Amino acid sequence: MEAYDYVIVGGGSAGCALAARLSEDPAVSVALLEAGGRNDKLLVRMPAAVGDLIKAKGPHNWGFWTEAEPNLDGRKLWWPRGRGLGGSSAINGMIYARGNPQDYDEWAQRGLPGWSWDSVLPYFRKLERHHRGGDLHGAEGPVHVSAGESDSPFNDALIAAGEQAGYPTTDDFNGERQEGFGRYDLTVSNGRRWSAAEAYLLPIRGRANLTIVTDARTTRIRVEQGRATGVDFVVGRDARHAAAAREVLLCAGAVQSPHLLHVSGIGPADRLREAGVAVVHDLPGVGENLQDHLDVLMRWRSRGLKTAFSQTRGLRQLAIGIQYMLTGKGLGRQQFLESGAFLSSREGLSRPDIQIHAVMALMADHAKVKATEDGFSLHLCQLRPESRGRIGLASPDPFADPLIHANYLATPEDRRVLRKSVMIARDVVSQAALAPYRDVELAPGDAVRSDDEIDAWIRRTAETIYHPVGTCRMGPEGDTLAVVDPELRVRGLDGLRVVDASVMPTLVSSNTNAPTIMIAERAADLIAGHATVAAL
């Protein structure tokens, strides 16, 4: 048995931040257990390799599948999730977006003190080393946030086309105005992916009171007399136990945090018994409230534009990798996704409900389908879905994949917003600013025009854009489906918190990596008993 003050399960975005912050106190001992490896390979470091990481199950990617989705023609959807230090921040598209201030004010209005925009902004600033500077951004944090390096005319043309279509522009999606067309900030430092592991663990790898164990698969949270006392885990064939004198901190993400609670006997009693798991603590909300951004992918053949296809085809791809490995220079520094938009699907909304990610490549099926020509793609997603799914339990086996019931497009509003996003994208791409570069629309194609035809295409092709949250959600006293309280303590148990995207009560209006790190930054102060950072 190994003994520590804090045992952190999961070395993803939240776990890395939490491990670094808690171990700043030399009087405490911290163990970080990560089921994957160190994620120190070239494939992870090089931004241009993102497609290789997303598309395949392997050492960097858990590669889950959903159950058959009833509103998507019964399809099972591919769900990549990061494996190894850095978690999904080691395989994502490196977009740094914090969400809309109203997202967090709504959390506070739900009875969650300390989670308003004014309360969380100091933690965003604390984590950032931001290229923009200014009062809304941090300059000394561990997470490097940079501008993209692409000199392609496509990004400016897209932004101009959005303006021609009547939409606003913004020079900072994380600034005073989120809404409009603009360029994304990236978690990239000097052409290198800046994952949470790079940001938080690399600078402190010799810290004496921090033990990092990789390839460590946690199998159970031990609970004795109403208190979490540690975790069982395996490394190879060796079964081990880590005791936690103070707290067990679950940071395994929106899929695996509820799954580990389930196999530990913590969750809805009836479903645990159905799966053959002995009930340790009946907690009905574990695994419920699953939310995700569903994405449709429109594609256009291009002309007069060098996109990822012509720039990386054939031996060029090998040359790019060699150049990057030897010098850190060249196209390996780019991920071909630097512009997009946050837009409203109708008048009267207080914040955008559609996000666009523009890719200088013909993407299809999570990059599993290789492009054969130049073109560009627009990812379109609804930011605040009404549909709710759940994470289920297949068996008592902790090594079995969880059951993912995403339940996409279960409401008319979810279907309306995605349909509207297709119409908006067509209008933008038809503008004069993109005329020199656009050619034929490949997907869904000009023949798909009516509402019914667009809806059918969405059902056939929509996929996740990798933002699941909410499965161990925060809630106030009296909320029977809340898994954790506003300080992220698991209801009804001592010594156990959940700190990751699963605690979000509602999905933020953006990518989720930055908000997840923010949650961990604030949690570190709550756990250590520090005064939380004052609002500006």
The pLDDT of residue 1 = 79
Which residues of the chain have a pLDDT value below 50?
535-536
The pLDDT of residue 536 = 38
Q: If you compute the radius of gyration of the chain from its CA atoms, what whole number of angstroms results? A: 22
Chain centroid to Cα 411, Å, comes to 23
Distance CA 142, CA 128 (A): 6
| Residues 6 or more apart in contact with residue 255 via CB below 8 angstroms | 62, 64, 79, 81, 391, 402, 404, 468, 471
**Which DSSP letter does residue 197 get?**
I
DSSP annotation string for 361-376: S---TTTTSPP-S-EE
The pLDDT of residue 533 = 67
For residue 239, the one-letter residue type is A
- How many Cα neighbours within 13 Å face the side chain of 439? 11
Condensed to tens digits (0 to 9), the pLDDT of residues 220-248 reads 999 999 999 999 999 999 999 999 999 99
- How many Cα neighbours within 13 Å face the side chain of 436? 12
- How many Cα neighbours within 13 Å face the side chain of 157? 20
The pLDDT of residue 133 = 85
CA-to-CA separations, 245 to 43, 264, 364, 486, in angstroms, rounded: 38, 19, 48, 22
Reduced to 3 states (helix: H, G, I; strand: E, B; else coil), residue 6 is strand
For the question of residue 144 being annotated catalytic, the response is no
Residues 10 and 257: beta-carbon distance below 8 Å: yes
Q: Which of 130, 262, 467, 530 is catalytic?
A: 467
The pLDDT of residue 258 = 98
| Residues 6 or more apart in contact with residue 31 via CB below 8 angstroms | 2, 4, 6, 7, 8, 210, 211, 212, 213, 242
**Structural domains of the chain in order of their starting residue, each with its CATH number:** 149-183+294-382+410-461 (3.30.410.40)
